Amino acid sequence: MASDTKEGGMIEPFIYVAYLTLLIAIVLVLIYTLKNLASKDLKKHLSVLERF
C-alpha cells in the first residue's frame, strides 16, 4: 500500500508540533519540580523517598 504524498504531507507537520508540545510540557514540569525541591527543605523530601 503506497502512501500518497497529498495525505502524508499534511500529517507530518502535526506530528512535529505534537512532539514539540510534549517536549515543552515535560521540560516545564521538570523545571517546576526541581525549583520546588530546591526551595524547600531537601532533607525532608529525601526522608520521604527513603520510606519507599
pLDDT of residue 49: 66
pLDDT of residue 8: 61
Whether residue 37 contacts residue 45, with contact meaning beta carbons closer than 8 Å, is answered with yes
3: left (phi over 0), alpha (psi -120 to 50) or beta: beta
1-52: pLDDT as tens digits: 445 556 667 788 899 999 999 999 999 999 998 888 777 666 666 676 676 6
DSSP 2-52: PPPHHHHHHHHHHHHHHHHHHHHHHHHHHHHHHHHHHHS-HHHHHHHHHT-
pLDDT of residue 1: 42
